[in-house]
Amino acid sequence: MKIKAQYAMVLNLDKCIGCHTCSIPCKNVWTNRDGAEYMWFNNVECKPGIGYPQKWENQDIHKGGWQLKRGRLQLKAGGRLHKGINIFHNPDLPTIDDYYEPWDYDYARLIDSPKRRHQPSVRPRSRLTGEPINLKWGPNWEDDLAGLAETGAGDTNFKNLEIETYLQFRNVFMFWLPRLCEHCLNPACVASCPSGALYKREEDGIVLVDQERCRGWRYCVSGCPYKKVYFNWKTGRAEKCVFCYPRIEAGLTTLCAHSCVGRIRYVGVLLYDADRISPAVKAPSDQAVYPAHLDILLDPNDPEIERAATAQGIASNVLAAAKRSPTYALIKEWRLALPLHPEFRTLPMVWYVPPLSPVSSQVAPVQESETIDRLRIPMAYLANLLTAGDEVPVRTALKRLSAVRQYMRTQRVEKRSDKSLLDSVGLDEDTIQTMYRLLALGRLEDRFVLPTRPVQDDVNYARQGCCGFGDTV
């Protein structure tokens, strides 16, 4: 057993309001320069839809992630030999039109316009060519234009569903999907890079790009099935989400999580067994990857795990944070959070709590177990998005979310406790109360549990200065 630490994030889709507040500070801090205009390390997509870049989920087009072939795990886009032969031509790379051609406006024409009869106007102008362009796509295109009717048919999550049914107005549904780099345990982007520029940090699992080693081959872009590695057209280097590691190292959470007005994000440390990664990614079926992924995660409160982690060099402050981690509770203890497209076999470490939705087409009262299957968002759609089509984990998560709402409602409104409701979802009263405080109230100290320096190092830490801002008196 080889124990390692990994930063992880959970996003509660049941509370996301699609305000894009998470995207703005990320954009302003990390991609506010030439060549990075079209990069959105964090973006919020409208589902159903084909997303950003276009059809990123369709690996028949983009060839991202891994596949199991004759019992062996292989990159879907091909191995070293394939990349060596085609190193100057990558047919699986998304084009700029799949993102959008970055543009600006000639604002001076408005400011310096002489007096005239009609209001002056300007056309969008490409940042790449300097020529006027017609806008056809963008990171929020489906959001702004309610694009289901136009692009819904291209959403791969409608697999085994009759898309025509959900294109009808009375059956339409919608929810938000914030996305960032998954910082996977088995990152395809790292394995795809011919120059070895991408790497996964040993101490916290954050995936980064070494700008000095990057040669701009862009196989990391096509290899990532989530399309969260970008190519800077100005510098000729790859760039991606860095999980705000300068803030993380100072004990602060990421900018996207800190700025979230809906309090939907949870950041914490997980312990995992690196020796179990290989068997997990080679699970015999796509639906078996998620349970195998859960088995990799270790219980930090287990005394044997704690002793083994200490013996292998895991710091005491990391262990203390792992014990209080909201991500471990949401992912493994309560089974509320699920991975995004586990069939890509990258073992992502950004997880999602599926959204509840209003009950549709209910004429007469039904049992609670039947109500979950009558939600407006199809169970099969969420399963295709989060569990490779397995509806059982999604149904379990939604039932528990619903149980928290109903139980707290009976306590607050009806002044009684319905224990039968708890038994039906396998939870006790203390757990329900803890889930309620974390999900509904979401205090900052509960949502973000990050390691700080051990107490015994505080004296030296103060002498060296805090976070590089100067000496501390």
Domain ranges of the chain: 264-447
CA 430 and chain centroid, separation: 29
- The residue among 270 and 362 whose pLDDT is bigger is 270
Give burial (CB, 10 Å; 0-12/13-18/19+) of 256.
Answer: buried
Q: Is the pTM of this model over 0.95?
A: no
Q: Model confidence over 161-210: pLDDT tens digits? A: 888 888 777 788 889 999 999 999 999 999 999 899 999 999 999 999 99
CA dihedral 45, 254, 400, 372 (to 10 degrees): 0
Provide the CA 352 distance to its chain's centre, in angstroms: 7
Using 50, 70 and 90 to split pLDDT, how confident is the model at 361?
low
Whole-number mean pLDDT of the chain? 88
Alpha carbon 285 to chain centroid, angstroms: 23
Element counts in the chain: helices (H) and strands (E): 24, 15
Please enumerate in sequence order all residues whose Cβ is within 8 A of that of 304, keeping only pairs 6 or more positions apart, or say none. Answer: none
CATH architecture of 264-447: 2-Layer Sandwich (3.30)
> Tell me: the pLDDT tens digits for 92-116?
899 999 999 999 988 888 888 888 8
Q: What is the DSSP string of 73-115?
A: EEETT--HHHHHHTTT--TTSPPHHHH---EE--HHHHHSPPP
Please name every residue paired with 7 in a beta bridge, in sequence order, or none if there are none. 269
- Which element (helix H / strand E) includes 351? strand 350-353
Q: Do residues 326 and 7 touch, judged by C-beta distance below 8 A?
A: no
Q: What is the pLDDT of residues 193-205, one digit of tens each?
A: 989 999 999 999 9
pLDDT tens-digit readout, 415-465: 887 777 788 888 899 999 999 999 999 899 999 999 976 544 444 433 333
pLDDT confidence of residue 162: 86
**What is the token pair recorded at 452?**
């700080």
Q: Which helix (H) or strand (E) holds 232?
A: strand 229-232
Is the CB of residue 187 less than 8 Å from the CB of residue 207?
A: yes
Confidence of residue 145 (pLDDT cuts 50, 70, 90): low
> Which tokens go with 143?
């959001």
Half-sphere exposure of 368 (CA within 13 A, CB side): 16
